């Protein structure tokens, strides 16, 4: 790297030391080739700048940047959507689960009433439509995560990796998840007295 800079520096000094008369000693072939060479300035002349100019210039440069078309041309596939949903349902189930059980464990010391009887009583006074909606909404991420987890376990066995099988198992997971969530949402507790 340093040798290149030294060579470049020495060539520039020798080129600047040539006078007008030294052109007469250069071979005619090099003169014909030199006519097509145009020198461009290395650095631009300094412009006067205002305090707001750098931000304006930066905004203008950002507007001229090329935008990659990967977002606009990408078509989501069932595998990518189900992978994203599997991870999100895992987070959606684990986060509130840990928060609820931490609150349940701390409730006797804090004076909160988060015991089973008070929760069952508060859920029991809700209208039927609200109960079904709440149960279905709570069951859907659970059933999807469980059924898609079984799909991943089948993949761990090395089965079902062809494109057709992956798409078919994805559609099966969606169908089974929705139907089992609806089934769990519409389940009624037995009303028989003991």
- This prediction has a pTM of 0.60
Q: What letter does residue 64 receive in the DSSP assignment?
A: T
How many CA atoms lie within 13 Å of 64's alpha carbon, on the beta-carbon side? 6
> What percentage of the chain's residues is helix, strand, coil (to nearest 5)?
70, 0, 30
The rounded distance, in Å, linking the Cα atoms of 163 and 173 is 15
- What are 64-112's pLDDT values in tens digits? 887 777 767 778 899 999 999 999 999 999 999 999 999 999 998 998 8
CATH class of 77-186: mainly alpha
- What are 170-180's pLDDT values in tens digits? 999 999 999 99
Residues in contact with 50: Cβ distance below 8 Å, sequence separation at least 6, in sequence order:
none
The rounded distance, in Å, linking the Cα atoms of 118 and 113 is 7
The rounded distance, in Å, linking the Cα atoms of 172 and 166 is 10
Domain residue ranges in the chain: 77-186
């Amino acid at each position: 790297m340093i040798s290149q800079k030294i060579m470049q520096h020495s060539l520039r000094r020798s080129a600047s030391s040539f006078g007008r008369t030294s052109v007469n000693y250069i071979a005619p072939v090099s003169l014909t080739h030199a006519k097509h060479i145009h020198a461009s300035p290395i650095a631009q002349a300094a412009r006067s700048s205002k305090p707001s100019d750098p931000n304006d210039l930066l905004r203008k440069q950002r507007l001229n940047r090329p935008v990659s078309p990967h977002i606009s041309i990408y078509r989501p596939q069932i595998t990518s959507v189900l992978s994203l949903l599997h991870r999100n349902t895992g987070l959606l189930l684990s986060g509130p689960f840990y928060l609820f059980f931490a609150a349940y464990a701390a409730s006797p010391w804090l004076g909160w009433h988060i015991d089973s009887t008070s929760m069952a009583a508060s859920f029991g006074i809700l209208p039927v439509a609200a109960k079904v909606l709440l149960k279905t909404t709570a069951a859907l991420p659970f059933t999807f995560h469980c059924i898609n987890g079984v799909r991943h376990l089948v993949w761990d066995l090395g089965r079902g990796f062809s494109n057709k099988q992956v798409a078919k198992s994805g559609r099966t997971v969606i169908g089974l998840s929705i139907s089992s969530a609806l089934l769990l949402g519409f389940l009624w507790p037995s009303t028989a007295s003991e």
